[in-house]
Amino acid sequence: MFGRKGAEGAENEVQETVNESGSTLSRAPEQAPRTGVAMPSPARRVVEIPGATRRNSNASAEERRLTVGKGLSLAGEITSCDILVVEGKVEAKLTDGKLLEITESGQFRGSVEIENADIAGRYDGNLIVHGRLTVRTTGRISGMVKYGELEVSAGGQIIGEMQVTGGGVQERGNGFKNAAKSTAGSDEDEDSKKSA
C-alpha cells in the first residue's frame, strides 16, 4: 500500500495517505508535464461595438493621439496632438493637429485650427479646418467656421459665420465663378449684337 511501485503501474495508481485524524485521503499522482505536444488555443472573436470608432491598424507609431473618454472633462491648451477624439467634455485651444473627432456624446468648446474634423457631437467656438470638415447627422457646430471642404449629412447643423479658406475646393469654386462670368459675358455680347 505505501511501498514503491514499478514504473509500469505508477501512472494509473491512486496514491493514498493517512492524515493526523487517521482517515485515509486519496489523490491522483502528479504527472510530468508533456513536452512537444501543442495545445490548441481557444478561438477568439473580435467584438464589434455599435457606434464605436474603429482603430486604424495602419496608423503609424508616430501619431500622437488623445482620447477624452465619455464622462471625462478636460480644460486647457492641447499641443503636440495629431488626433483628438472627444467622447466627453473638452474646453480647450488646439492647434496644428491632423484630425479632430467629436463623437455623438462629445462636447468641445474653444478654438481649433486643424487639418480635418469629423463632428458628430457638439462644437462651440472658432473652428478652422484646412482640409475637410464633416458634420454628421447628430453634429452641431455654433460659432465661426472656416473650412477647405465641407460635407454635411442630413440633420447636421452649422449655426454662425461660415467661410471657405484657400484650398482645392475654393480654387475649383473660383473656376466655376469665372466660367459663370464668362458665360454671362458671352450672353451679354450676343444680346448686344442682336439689338444692334
Give the model confidence (pLDDT) of 19-57 as tens digits: 566 666 656 566 666 666 666 666 666 555 555 555 555
Sequence-separated (6 or more) residues with CB below 8 Å from residue 57? none
The pLDDT, as a whole number, for residue 110 is: 95
The pLDDT, as a whole number, for residue 140 is: 97
The pLDDT, as a whole number, for residue 96 is: 85
Between 14 and 65, name the one with better pLDDT: 65
**Is 115's pLDDT higher than 50?**
yes
Domain extents in the chain = 65-170
Alpha helices in the chain (DSSP H): 7-10, 168-195
Percent of the chain with pLDDT over 90: 49
Give the model confidence (pLDDT) of 123-145 as tens digits: 999 999 999 999 999 999 999 99
* Strand 15-18 to 24-27 pairing: antiparallel
Inter-residue contact 82 to 102 (CB < 8 Å):
no
Task: State how far the Cα of 124 lies from the Cα of 141, in Å rounded to an integer.
Answer: 6
Helix, strand, or coil (residue 76): strand
The pLDDT, as a whole number, for residue 63 is: 84
Task: State how far the Cα of 128 lies from the Cα of 143, in Å rounded to an integer.
Answer: 11
**What are 51's three cell numbers?**
457606434
Inter-residue contact 100 to 118 (CB < 8 Å):
yes
**Is 181's pLDDT higher than 70?**
no
